[in-house]
Structure 1
Amino acid sequence: MALPAQLEHRLTLPLIAAPMFLISGPELALACCRNGIVGSFPALNQRTSEGFEQWLIEMNSGLDAMRKANANAVAPYAVNLIVHRTNPRWQADLELCQKHRVPIVITSLGAASHVVEAVHSYGGLVFHDVTNQRHARKAAEAGVDGIIGVAAGAGGHAGTISPFVLMKEIRDVFDGTIILAGCLSQGDDILALQAMGADLGYMGTRFINTEESRADSAYQSMILEAISGDIIHTPAVSGIPANFMRQSLEAAGYPMDKLNQPGAIDYGEKLKPVDDEAKAWKTVWSAGQGVSTIHDVVPVDTLASRLLAEYRQALTRLEGMAFKP
């Protein structure tokens, strides 16, 4: 499957910097877009819809200025909407996405056809994240343009299925754009997912350790020290299984022998709308298994150049390794 027309000739790498709760903001998203990588952030990273609208205005004006000043590829941006009955903001935030013509809307916890209709009305794209084939089939039925397969080892609300299997299961029920997430941190990882049949990569944890990230310095330091074995998949923090660093779970007082017990899913009024969720994620830090390959904190410009060089080196190496029976 080729990239959607809206993305053709606008990317330096086939990559989306994943929207991360409390971490991603306009600073990170604009830096990514400037480097030909789709930048993104969750709508709920702004505490109000009014604040969210200001971010959209900032993104659109920032990208306009980049395109006028830069002949290189300037990527579009994406906004993540939590389409869940307990999030009282999502419909208002969707209207703002429509008003400001957000190029890509990434939906989570619900694939709704009327979201697709709203975004398609102005020529935007809808990508939906899933962790299994059943949810991929529902997303396909809703008419989304792309499906994000969140495989085992990814940061945030991750699945447990191998990317090799998840990729094939999604393709069995969907012929649109497939984006693959799970342990991506280097340029050769991006080439590998393309070899598997994916169209785009979805990289989160690596972007936590950038200077434009909103992550606490202690959070970034923990990533530098962590290895894959420190990542624990548990529903105990937010009610939905997610990957967190063991060190932060222990520091927050979570009993390590009870992490299979779920918490409560709620983006509703008691969170106003995200206060309680934010308190949990501020002290319990999420990351993917790719932490073991992250060794520094750098500007997005530096990271993007490194990823592109690694991608090209991997492509050259692969061409030389091609098996000829």
Structure 2
Amino acid sequence: MSSLPIIVAPMFLVSNPAMVIEASKAGAIGSFPLLNARPATVCAEWLQNIKEALPTEPWAVNFICHPVANARFEEDLQLIERHQPPIVITSLGHPKRVIEIVHGYGGKVYADVANVKHAEKSAATGVDGLILVCAGAGGHGGQLNPFGFVSAVKKFFKGTIILSGSMSSGADVLAAQIIGADYAYMGTRFLACDEGDAPEDYKKMVIDSKTDDILYTDAFSGVHVNVLIPSLLKEGIDPSTLKPREDIDLSHLVNAKAWRDIWSAGHGVTNIQQRESVREICGTLQEEYEAAKQQIIAVQPQ
């Protein structure tokens, strides 16, 4: 059990072993997408390095469990079985095979979902936790309000609930717990960290951006995503000319080229004001979290 109830979300092309290790050592739970490490031999090295650095601390990997979208499906399953990450976060597809493997060595499987229907389907597969992706999340943000989403899911699911969307402070983490979540799922807050693999221009753009700089669009893949408008402008794309895409192309989930020039961030971007290390960010979040708890105690009726 981590001391800071935060999972540092696995960010495509950004998260790496240094981020995972520093986050988990600082009391949160670090994670990375398996497809960030290419080829699979590099991924095996990443997993081994993290496992050696974190013999007792929790950490996680993200696995695309769709055999068509993920050309490395079988290889990644073998890597999970061999290196036994404590937590596997699944995206897309049916998680049955990964559940069998992970439960076989005593690990946990969390599935990310963006609506109640998907939450019900994932819960029925036997996952240990659900990541509820709400409005304002970086990357593929949902559309539901967290109050309604958490309430609806708790009516049929008794496992771990992780809340995602717009959270970027320790007070946000406490608020997530108050409405029924066990963890906050936080990615945008760590986009500009020193250790991350985001390009320097991306990190600077995140620091300079406000909520108004984020566009929620399905123009690129048919799936709604929150993108930074300045990243569109630098590529000569006029946001006002974007049109909804009629078909759904899931290749963007595994295609690095799709994310190299168009950058994403969530509504919590306003809290990122400077470059910091992962450990410094976690320290700030811990202080804010404790201060928020004291504030609640202070306003209790006497």
Q: Which TM bucket (shorter chain)?
A: over 0.9
Q: Does 1:20 align with 2:3?
A: no
Three-state SS of the structure 1 residue aligned to 2:226 is strand
Q: Which residue of 2 aligns with 1:284?
A: 262
What is the Cα deviation at residue 47 of structure 1? 2.1
1:87–1:266 Cα contact (<8 Å) kept: no
Q: Does 1:79 align with 2:61?
A: yes
Q: Which residue of 1 aligns with 2:44?
A: 53
In 2, Cα distance between the equivalents of 1:53 and 1:239? 32
What is the Cα deviation at residue 255 of structure 1? 3.9
| TM-score, normalisation: structure 1 | 0.88
Q: Of the candidates 141, 153, 172, which is equivalent to residue 155 of structure 2?
A: 172
Cα displacement string for residues 275-309 of structure 1 (whole angstroms, at most 9, x for unaligned residues): xx312211111000111121111011111111111
Q: Which residue of 2 aligns with 1:265?
A: 249
Q: Does 1:304 align with 2:257?
A: no
Q: Does 1:119 align with 2:102?
A: yes
What is the Cα deviation at residue 264 of structure 1? 5.1
In 1, Cα distance between the equivalents of 2:94 and 2:292? 35
Cα displacement string for residues 3-28 of structure 1 (whole angstroms, at most 9, x for unaligned residues): xxxx3xxx121110000000001011
**Which amino acid letter does the alignment assign opposite residue 188 of structure 2?**
T
Cα displacement string for residues 60-109 of structure 1 (whole angstroms, at most 9, x for unaligned residues): 11113xx6xxxxxxx31100011123212123202211111111000001
Q: Of the candidates 140, 158, 165, which is equivalent to residue 182 of structure 1?
A: 165
In 1, Cα distance between the equivalents of 2:250 and 2:120? 25
In 2, Cα distance between the equivalents of 1:323 and 1:89? 57
In 2, Cα distance between the equivalents of 1:82 and 1:241? 18
In 2, Cα distance between the equivalents of 1:305 and 1:143? 34
In 2, Cα distance between the equivalents of 1:82 and 1:287? 21
| TM-score, normalisation: structure 2 | 0.95
RMSD between aligned residues:
1.7
Could you tell me which runs of 5 or more consecutive residues in structure 1 were left unpaired when the two chains were aligned. 1-6, 68-74
1:191–1:311 Cα contact (<8 Å) kept: yes
In 2, Cα distance between the equivalents of 1:191 and 1:266? 34
Q: Does 1:213 align with 2:212?
A: no
Q: Of the candidates 109, 112, 120, which is equivalent to residue 137 of structure 1?
A: 120
Q: Which residue of 1 aligns with 2:142?
A: 159
Q: Of the candidates 218, 223, 227, which is equivalent to residue 235 of structure 1?
A: 218
Q: Of the candidates 288, 294, 297, which is equivalent to residue 272 of structure 2?
A: 294
1:111–1:128 Cα contact (<8 Å) kept: no
Could you tell me which runs of 5 or more consecutive residues in structure 2 were left unpaired when the two chains were aligned. none
1:152–1:158 Cα contact (<8 Å) kept: yes
Q: How does 1:32-47 map to 2 (within 5 A)?
A: 32-47=23-38
Three-state SS of the structure 1 residue aligned to 2:60 is strand
Aligned positions, number: 300
Identity fraction in percent = 42
In 2, Cα distance between the equivalents of 1:189 and 1:234? 25
**Which amino acid letter does the alignment assign opposite residue 312 of structure 1?**
E
Q: Which residue of 2 aligns with 1:313?
A: 291
